[in-house]
Structure 1
Amino acid sequence: MVLGAFFATAASVPWRRSLLLLPTLALLWQLCRLLHRLWWRPRCLERELRSKGLRGTSYRFLTGDLREQGRRNKDAWSRPLPLRCHDIAPRVAPLLCDSVREHGKVSLSWFGPIPKVTIADPELAKSVLSDKSGHFEKPKFPALWKLLANGLLNHEGEKWVKHRRLLNPAFHLEKIKCMLPEFSACCEELVGRWTESIGSSGGMHELDIWPELKNLAGDVISRTAFGSSYLEGMKIFQLQTEQAERLIANIRRILIPGYLSLPTPNNKRMYQVNNEVESILRGLIAKRTKAIKEGESTKDDLLGLLLESNMRHTYDNGQSSMGMTNEDVIEECKTFYFAGMETTSVLLMWTMIVLSMHPEWQDRAREEVLGLFGKNKPGYEGLNRLKTVTMILYEVLRLYPPSIHFSRKTCKKVLIGDKRYPAGMMIELSVLLMHHDPDIWGSDVHEFKPERFAEGISKASRNSGAFLPFGWGPRICIGQNFALTEAKMAICMILQRFDFVLAPSYTHAPYTVVTLHPMHGAQIRLGLI
């Protein structure tokens, strides 16, 4: 009615004066849209969801639960955990833990003005992750995230299907088997460097293994992605590492409207880093494409396999649209760097920390490794016969999952369990809470017990779908075999050479950045065996 009266008044004044009212009308229109998005729609959605029996927090204007989450995180993160304590969820995600404890395994919270349903029920989580009907999509990332990586992880629909099909050949087990020499060469350099450090110190040597293992994962990716051009690959790794650190340091500011467009030193440097990374990759792709077209045999590195798969699909179908553009290939290489480095380095780091806390399992793992390989480099068949080491890696992934949740967004009305949710909602599948649920894993859920995986993943818990470190369904992580094989190789070669314990300076303080990191580093003491 107010707007109607305003328009009626505007129509009664001379046209020149009414022209002056147009900016005011435009501003009113934008304010109405903003009020609808930030106040009216969240309130309507909250009433609708509560009428369906969903419990959770109430909407707070504009910020939702973000401010409370920040406050709770700051408080929880100020207190480290006792050593050998694996009940990490209350420290890592305190607000989420309390919400699920109070409101149940399906609870409502607010990501700003967007309603978020957290699901800690594995059956419901599997139904979301297994969806093929197009009811869910990955949340759209802000522009700065895309400067880090905008590949398979972010794609939807036909583009995701095409990229997954083209990438699959590069991650077949036979291809990973061909990459073992690069895995072992990188690990050999790491253990050689550690051995020299111990020799110069004359006994036990203390070091922070977290940056060491990140460098190892970057080295592996550089060699397996670019083969003989791995030095250029390491430059990309260094730039991508800087890019991730800059993004993480400003993660909260990206929610400020217009922040991404501001010419801040950080924003300008992130665009500069992205241009450098893309320039190096563009040069590598051009050289490799030219060599393939001139008849040179394809190399068994990621770039060669990806380009070969890309060209084959293009030529077989006679349509360039069936393959990837150079820009697509660049983004997939950036994604491989970020996702591969984060997942494997996090897994290796927590495995060494946990084995330092539980020396009895470290001894059992070393006995298995020396029994299979002695002091020789591990081979592919032997890695597949590892039982104790595999159980340890699975248990570490359960207690310390690299990604503590997977997010989806409803793009149409959808039924999850017995409740129908509207479009535009965030769905958060809490891997951390499902991995730490006593109803699923038993009363010893917070104990480090690798033997629970003695008969495989399916029999480790009361629900075979409750173990989700790499996701589930059609979008399960394409690189899981790559990551596990690399982790097995690294742990075996470390156990062959070293005994390790926690350093007195170590503080047990897991927290989330993008993945599950150690807040104060991962200091251990190494000794030769």
Structure 2
Amino acid sequence: MVFRGWLMWAPASAPVLVVFGLLFGLALVWQAGRLLHRLWWRPRRLEKALRARGLRGSSYRFLTGDLAEESRRRKEAWARPLPLRCHDIAPRIKPFLHDTLGEHGKQRQPCITWFGPTPEVNITDPELAKVVLSNKFGHLERVRFKEVSKLLSQGLTYHEGEKWVKHRRIINPAFQLEKLKLMLPAFSACCEELISRWIGSIGCDGSYEVDCWPELKSLTGDVISRTAFGSSYLEGRRVFELQAEQFERAMKCMQKISIPGYMSLPIENNRKMHQINKEIESILRGIIGKKMQAMKEGESTKDDLLGILLESNTKHMEENGQSSQGLTMKDIVEECKLFYFAGAETTSVLLTWAMLLLSMHPEWQDRAREEILGLFRKNKPDYEGLSRLKIVTMILYEVLRLYPPFIEIGRKTYKEMEIGGVTYPAGVSIKIPVLFIHHDPDTWGSDVHEFKPERFSEGISKASKDPGAFLPFGWGPRICIGQNFALLEAKMALCLILQRLEFELAPSYTHAPHTMVTLHPMHGAQIKVRAI
């Protein structure tokens, strides 16, 4: 009976099974075709087009591009620390790109490298770099790792076109100098806590050895927590801790995201990043909700970044007559996440290298201290005095030149465009290797690898042969909106530290700069401080 029933069923269902099998097979073939196109046909087509336009560089290797070779070379370079006071760091930081540019990028010619299946055209000519960053024709967009960005921040730096214009317009009031002046008390309060802790740890020999890298990261996290969230500082501190962990986990993914679907794999690191992101967003929504309620009750909003941002957003919506024209709650959450990622990280990197370089070059530490004491004595610095600092400013610029926090800037062509007489097809990544531009002897002179703040004595425009060769904060319409915040915070921190402390390299310090996203000391930044 069972066999007869099957015979009666089989003829009717067989066509359905055949159709289902065909559809499933077609779907597999279609997906395989998409992968093959992405990982082989498209890269080969782009490589052929670029070489036809006269560009040279490395050849495409299936799937990984230059990632495997770059990883191998970087591992070898990072195994060997640099001599103390050696600032020729590019061969250690990006050894593969350093050698590729030496072989194929002579006379500042753009050259090709590969990030997985994506061709990267590296442009080291400052004039061409300015053309790319100005993006006059609107044919370039930022390079975005979308899956990672979702878990770090999809704030201002993530957006393009009209959405970017709207976000920039609404956020801009928070970073105007008049607003930043109001945040100086928060800057100084956080710095004084750090200095008091260091002085309190000085031993009987009159010195205290400290790894200032985590200390300065904590300092800038405290600063951004206070200046962004005001009375919600403690909750903001928790966000900073979570963002720091999220950043570290994201770095583990950066060398693997060329693998299709990698961020969707249910591995432990990916699951943990999603959990952290949910907690961050939950805390931020609570802080934002409390701030919005306080604003409704008439509380002043002029003393922290979030309050200024919400006030600017409300004004924007009133001027445009509809709530849809403003930032949504999700938009504001993402901008708050960016406050931490961009604000705290950039300034902590700048301050860390400033402390290390002033330890390596004590004559400049003495000159900076003399200027600071001449202006402020032992009093708390004010904005007018900070703006008159010449030697300290020169030092910070030279630190940013030799050790830029972000060593490259990326753009991507989404349609065909011409740069410097070369027409690039859509789908090409355009990289501006800031570190290599900052270390170019043709631009900065034969002393390019020496720490010489005096090169900035007449300002940025006269420090090199090309006024567009100094790019620590980018250039053009998308120049970093927080650069004044970072420099003002760094000046305040250096002033307060140099007023009360002198410092030198600790014997345990190893000079080993390295980078994943920002440039920092691989084995810490150990210094010895003494009270004065």
TM-score (norm 1): 0.95
Conserved 8 A contact 2:64-2:115: yes
- Answer yes or no: is 1:406 the counterpart of 2:421: no
Within 2, Cα distance between the matches of 1:484 and 1:294? 35
Show CA shifts across 1:98-117 (max 9, x none): 11111113101111111110
**1:383, CA displacement in angstroms?**
0.3
Corresponding position of 2:184: 180
Corresponding position of 1:78: 79
Corresponding position of 2:449: 446
* Matched letter for residue 85 of structure 1: C
**1:303, CA displacement in angstroms?**
0.6
Match of 1:192 among 163, 172, 196: 196
Alignment of 1:366-385 (within 5 A): 366-385=369-388
SS at match of 2:60: coil
Would the alpha carbon gap of residues 81 and 16 (structure 1) be closer, same or farther in structure 2, given more than 3 Å must change?
closer
Alignment of 1:136-175 (within 5 A): 136-175=140-179
Within 1, Cα distance between the matches of 2:31 and 2:155? 34
**1:277, CA displacement in angstroms?**
1.2
SS at match of 2:257: helix
Match of 1:134 among 135, 138, 159: 138
Match of 2:231 among 228, 231, 235: 228
**1:17, CA displacement in angstroms?**
4.2
**1:32, CA displacement in angstroms?**
2.3
* Matched letter for residue 188 of structure 1: E
Within 2, Cα distance between the matches of 1:322 and 1:169? 17
Corresponding position of 2:297: 294
Match of 2:217 among 208, 214, 218: 214
Conserved 8 A contact 2:460-2:467: yes
Within 2, Cα distance between the matches of 1:25 and 1:286? 50
Conserved 8 A contact 2:49-2:425: no
Mark the runs of 5 or more structure 2 residues left unpaired by the alignment. 1-13
RMSD: 1.4
Match of 1:330 among 329, 333, 339: 333
- Answer yes or no: is 1:464 the counterpart of 2:467: yes
Within 1, Cα distance between the matches of 2:443 and 2:420? 18
Within 1, Cα distance between the matches of 2:433 and 2:137? 22
**1:272, CA displacement in angstroms?**
1.6
Within 2, Cα distance between the matches of 1:167 and 1:368? 34
Within 2, Cα distance between the matches of 1:313 and 1:19? 54
TM-score (norm 2): 0.95
- Answer yes or no: is 1:88 the counterpart of 2:89: yes
**1:51, CA displacement in angstroms?**
1.3
Within 2, Cα distance between the matches of 1:137 and 1:269? 30
Corresponding position of 2:5: none
**1:461, CA displacement in angstroms?**
0.3
Conserved 8 A contact 1:108-1:117: yes
**1:279, CA displacement in angstroms?**
1.2
Show CA shifts across 1:249-291 (max 9, x none): 3433433333322332322221121111111111111111122
Corresponding position of 1:429: 432
* Matched letter for residue 57 of structure 1: S
Conserved 8 A contact 2:148-2:250: yes
Would the alpha carbon gap of residues 314 and 17 (structure 1) be closer, same or farther in structure 2, given more than 3 Å must change?
closer
Q: Bigger CA drift: 424-433 or 102-111?
A: 102-111
Aligned length in residues: 516
Within 2, Cα distance between the matches of 1:493 and 1:374? 10
Corresponding position of 1:25: 26
Corresponding position of 2:10: none
- Answer yes or no: is 1:117 the counterpart of 2:121: yes
Conserved 8 A contact 1:145-1:247: no
Within 1, Cα distance between the matches of 2:453 and 2:436? 18
Conserved 8 A contact 2:408-2:435: yes
- Answer yes or no: is 1:321 the counterpart of 2:324: yes
**1:201, CA displacement in angstroms?**
4.3
Conserved 8 A contact 2:410-2:431: yes
Corresponding position of 2:11: none
Alignment of 1:260-271 (within 5 A): 260-271=263-274
SS at match of 2:75: helix
Within 2, Cα distance between the matches of 1:266 and 1:32? 30
* Matched letter for residue 95 of structure 1: F
Q: Bigger CA drift: 229-238 or 395-404?
A: 229-238
Corresponding position of 1:103: 104
Within 2, Cα distance between the matches of 1:251 and 1:54? 27
Corresponding position of 2:8: none
Q: Bigger CA drift: 145-154 or 501-510?
A: 145-154
Mark the runs of 5 or more structure 1 residues left unpaired by the alignment. 1-12
* Matched letter for residue 88 of structure 1: I
SS at match of 2:154: coil
SS at match of 1:254: coil
**1:295, CA displacement in angstroms?**
2.5
- Aligned identity (percent) is 69
- Answer yes or no: is 1:483 the counterpart of 2:459: no
Corresponding position of 1:60: 61
Show CA shifts across 1:139-193 (max 9, x none): 2323233211110011111110000000110000010011100000000101000
Conserved 8 A contact 1:115-1:425: yes
Match of 1:362 among 362, 365, 374: 365
Within 2, Cα distance between the matches of 1:23 and 1:231? 54
Corresponding position of 1:516: 519
Show CA shifts across 1:96-136 (max 9, x none): 11111111131011111111100111100100100143200
Corresponding position of 1:7: none
SS at match of 1:82: coil
* Matched letter for residue 306 of structure 1: L
Would the alpha carbon gap of residues 63 and 369 (structure 1) be closer, same or farther in structure 2, given more than 3 Å must change?
same
Within 2, Cα distance between the matches of 1:107 and 1:432? 16
Match of 1:205 among 189, 203, 208: 208
Within 1, Cα distance between the matches of 2:417 and 2:436? 23
**1:16, CA displacement in angstroms?**
6.4
Corresponding position of 1:348: 351
Alignment of 1:218-257 (within 5 A): 218-257=221-260
Conserved 8 A contact 2:115-2:258: no
Corresponding position of 1:339: 342
Q: Bigger CA drift: 112-121 or 263-272?
A: 263-272
Conserved 8 A contact 1:142-1:254: no
SS at match of 1:446: coil
Within 2, Cα distance between the matches of 1:28 and 1:404? 41
